[in-house]
């Protein structure tokens, strides 16, 4: 795709044969400025997508939310680091075509993940299931993205405990040792938590199946 040693325009990746790019009619300095402006816009879109993903996890928290947050966190910090690398390279006039394209590939990833969670919930037509269990621990972490989990006895065969994502109100309402009911929607392949409620003595809550 790229010839080794060929100097390319920072804006359009055309091979430079003179002081002005034949593809976009820009000098190297102007091409660097245009690239950096576009990079700011793309980085803004990337950050907004990351915020949209976090909002989606609060609105429709997937049961396996921790793994998704770790993945998105890796994409987020790698993407920001890559954007800085592209910008520094543009300032120095380095050849950055490959790293630029890699960053552009990462920009829509948070948006896709956010859309996946929203569609998973909106297209969910399966029956909601209730699982009666007991709180055995609580976990909260104040960070850029606050994390609150109730650690409950798992209803899944072969699993001892389960970390359930909850809201701030649910986190403060339930104490260790309290019996609760976890409502789970099956989603379109991604089970998500509808809420956690106090268990009513004598009420029947489903426990079969594995969402």
208 pLDDT more than 50: no
Confidence of residue 20 (pLDDT cuts 50, 70, 90): confident
> What mean pLDDT comes out for the span 31-44?
86
CB 94 within 8 A of CB 33: no
**pTM for this predicted structure:** 0.80
Question: 83, exposed or middle or buried, with CB in 10 Å at 0-12, 13-18, 19+?
Answer: buried
State residue 199 phi and psi, 5-degree precision: -75, 130
Instruction: Encode pLDDT of 171-191 as tens digits.
Output: 999 999 999 999 999 999 999
Top pLDDT among 137 and 211 is at 137
């Amino acid at each position: 795709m790229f010839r080794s040693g060929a100097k390319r325009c920072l804006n359009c990746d055309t091979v430079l044969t003179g002081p002005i790019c034949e593809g976009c009619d820009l000098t190297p300095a102007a091409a660097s400025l245009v690239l950096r402006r576009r990079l700011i816009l793309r980085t803004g879109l990337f950050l907004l997508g990351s915020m949209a993903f976090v909002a989606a996890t609060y609105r429709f928290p997937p049961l396996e939310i921790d793994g998704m947050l770790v993945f998105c966190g890796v994409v987020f910090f790698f993407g920001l680091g890559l954007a800085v690398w592209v910008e520094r390279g543009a300032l120095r006039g380095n050849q950055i075509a490959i790293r630029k394209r890699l960053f552009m590939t990462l920009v829509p990833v948070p948006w896709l993940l956010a859309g996946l969670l929203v569609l998973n919930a909106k297209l969910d037509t399966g029956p909601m299931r209730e699982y009666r269990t007991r709180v055995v621990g609580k976990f909260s972490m104040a960070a850029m993205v606050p994390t609150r989990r109730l650690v409950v006895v798992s209803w899944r065969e072969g699993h001892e405990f389960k970390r359930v994502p909850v809201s701030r109100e649910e986190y403060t309402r339930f104490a260790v040792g309290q019996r609760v009911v976890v409502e789970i929607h099956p989603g379109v392949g991604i089970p998500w938590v509808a809420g956690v409620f106090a268990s009513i003595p004598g009420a029947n809550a489903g426990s079969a199946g594995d969402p």
